[in-house]
């Protein structure tokens, strides 16, 4: 019986931590982004998450896609340990932050309402 609660929930957007290497091909997968599709607990190991890669990640990794297809490995998903992942901030939220940083301080306070409407 495990008492530790999992860190991520189904549909959370996660990013692969810096320095992570794909075990099948030895390629750096740091920064890959995807959505949690499944989660299971393995005694003695911890939580393992099935991550479905975002369209952007899939488009940027065409060489790896060919290698996976040649070996019959699913390219669109990967199972990773909880320690290999971090919660990714939403794209919408990041866009808002980026937009606000370019505004004068007084205008930043008013821009939040415009962001919610737009």
Domain 1-87 has CATH 3.30.413: no
Model confidence pTM above 0.85: no
Residues with Cβ within 8 Å of residue 86, at least 6 apart in sequence: 14, 15, 17
What does pLDDT average to in each consecutive run of 10 residues of the chain (118 residues)? 76 90 86 93 92 91 84 92 85 56 54 44
Residue pair 111/99 in contact by the 8 Å Cβ criterion: yes
How far is Cα 29 from Cα 80, in angstroms, rounded to an integer? 11
Predicted local confidence at residue 116, as pLDDT = 43
72: left (phi over 0), alpha (psi -120 to 50) or beta: left
Predicted local confidence at residue 100, as pLDDT = 57
Domain with CATH 2.30.30 in the chain: 1-87
């Amino acid at each position: 019986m495990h008492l530790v609660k999992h860190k991520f929930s189904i549909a959370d957007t996660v990013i692969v931590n810096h320095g992570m290497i794909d075990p099948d091909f030895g390629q750096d997968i740091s920064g890959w982004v995807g959505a949690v599709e499944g989660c299971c607990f393995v005694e003695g190991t911890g939580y393992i998450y099935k991550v479905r890669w975002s369209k952007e990640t899939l488009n940027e990794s065409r060489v790896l896609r060919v290698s996976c297809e040649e070996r019959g490995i699913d390219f669109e998903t990967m199972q990773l340990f909880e320690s290999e992942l971090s919660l990714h901030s939403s794209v919408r939220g990041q866009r808002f932050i980026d937009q606000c940083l370019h505004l004068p301080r007084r205008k930043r306070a008013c821009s939040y309402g415009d962001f919610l409407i737009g």
